[in-house]
Structures are given as structure tokens and as C-alpha cells.
Amino acid sequence: MRYLVTALVNAEPGMRGMRDGYEPSHKLATVGYFDIETPHDDFNEAAEAMFAIGNREGTDLNGQEWPSDVRSLSVGDLLFVSRNSDSVYAVLSVESSGWQARKLPADSRYVPLAGTEATSRKAE
């Protein structure tokens, strides 16, 4: 099954997400969009494949790697996983063990990646 995974790092100041896990009030920054294929129709399996990429262990179907200037995918980060074949999706937070289903964050939660503690990119 093919999935499009949007990887979002927790951009809450002080790296609170990595310490405390994801909270709906936390700011999120989009790292990128990754094309994933799994043997089964399973959102968690797609999340596992994305977690490996987000920890610099491979690439997506297009050869895309996790950016070298962005910290690894960690506890408190979020994945938006959608099946390429339809509009079914899951929002999953990275937990210390596995995944937790979440609601889609409010638009006000998204911030630019540059200038956050999740990357060395300077704010524009």
C-alpha cells in the first residue's frame, strides 16, 4: 500500500515535545512529504517506515532522505499519514513506544521550520 507521509517536528521552544511528548498546544513545523510503500494496509506500518527515514535509516520511494540539518524524528513529533488511493488518513504522534492517534492540529499551530530549535536553518 502506498502512503504520503507529512513529517512534522515539534517546534515548541525549549524542545518540550521531546521531554513531555506531543500536546495539541505545541507548535509544529513541516519537514517534508515522503512517499512510503508498505506490504500491508496499515497506518502504523507506514509510520514505522517513516520513523526509520526520520532517523536517517533509508529513503522514501523517490530516494528522498531526511534533511541533514534537521534533528531526528523523535518523541513529541507528528506524522500525517494518508493513503495515496483515497482520502483516508491518520494523524499519529511519536511516543516513547509506538504511536498515538491524534486529531488534526489547528492551522494556528504550524510555524516555519527555519529558526526553530529543530534545525540549524536561520529564520528567514
Residue 115 included in any domain: no
- Please tell me the total count of domains within the chain: 1
Residue 101 included in any domain: yes
* Percentage, residues of the chain above pLDDT 70: 98
DSSP strand pairing (99-102 vs 78-83):
unpaired
Residue 53 included in any domain: yes
Q: Taking all residues of the chain, what is their mean pLDDT, rounded to a whole number?
A: 93
Residue 40 included in any domain: yes
pLDDT over 90 (residue 19): no
For residue 89, the model assigns a pLDDT of 95
Residue 71 included in any domain: yes
Kindly report, residue by residue over 72-82, the tens digit of the pLDDT. 999 999 999 99
Residue 114 included in any domain: no
Residue 122 included in any domain: no
| Signed CA dihedral, 18, 37, 119, 108: sign only | negative
Query: In sequence order, which residues have a C-beta less than 8 Å from that of residue 1 and are 6 or more positions away?
Result: 37, 38, 39, 40, 41, 42, 46, 83, 85
Threshold 0.75, pTM exceeds: yes
For residue 34, the model assigns a pLDDT of 98
Query: In sequence order, which residues have a C-beta less than 8 Å from that of residue 86 and are 6 or more positions away?
Result: none
Kindly report, residue by residue over 35-93, the tens digit of the pLDDT. 999 999 999 999 999 999 999 999 999 999 999 999 999 999 999 999 977 889 999 99
Q: Which three cell numbers stand for residue 100?
A: 498515538
Indicate the SS3 state at residue 94.
strand
Residue 121 included in any domain: no
Distance CA 118, CA 28 (A): 10
Across 92-116, average pLDDT: 95
Amino acid found at 18: M
pLDDT over 80 (residue 17): no
For residue 124, the model assigns a pLDDT of 76
Cβ burial 22-53 (10 Å sphere, 16+ → b, else e): beeebbbbbbbebebebeeeebebbbebbbeb
Containing structural domain, residue 62:
2-105
